[in-house]
Copies of this chain bind each other. A is one copy, B any other.
Amino acid sequence: VSEAQLNNGIEAQCRARGLRLTGQRRLIAQLITEATDHPDILELHRRARVSDPRIALSTVYRTLNKLEGAGIVVSHNFRGGPSRYELASKSCHDHLIDVQTGAVLDFQDRRVDRAIEKIARALGFEVVDHRLEVHVIPSRAL
């Protein structure tokens, strides 16, 4: 799937949710789509200003809140810092965080998902969602 298609995807999703497609939203959608890191709002604002120097920080906040509410992006709060965002379609995974460098690595593993399902069910609940953050150090550092 190309980036252009993904971007079309996010715009289509906005339309489907009744969100208007303004220049700012298209720009933010593109930035989120092409991001491989997990940028926070300030970083997204910085990147957005390259193309649109007049875009306001509050617009970035409002847009990401809308996109999150619509289930198009998801946010993470690693170690209590500012919220960091990524496309929901990229996010059926969890995060490995190198505590020495702060680098974030994505991973996906069914064992974790299955274990979580079983635990919740045993306690009388159904899983809506989960967040797993694994803090690690490189093996050779030991």
Contacts and interface: CB of A to CB of B under 8 A. Distances in A.
Interface in A38-82: 75, 77, 79-80
7 contacts: A80-B83, A96-B119, A120-B134, A125-B137, A127-B134, A127-B135, A130-B132
Stoichiometry (number of copies) = 2
A125 B103 CA distance: 12
Interface residues of A, number: 39
A111 B122 CA distance: 14
Contacts of A125: 96, 98, 136-139
Contact of A138 (B109, B124, B141): B124
Contacts of A107: 119, 123
A1 interface: no
Contacts of A109: 115, 119
A99 interface: yes
A3 interface: no
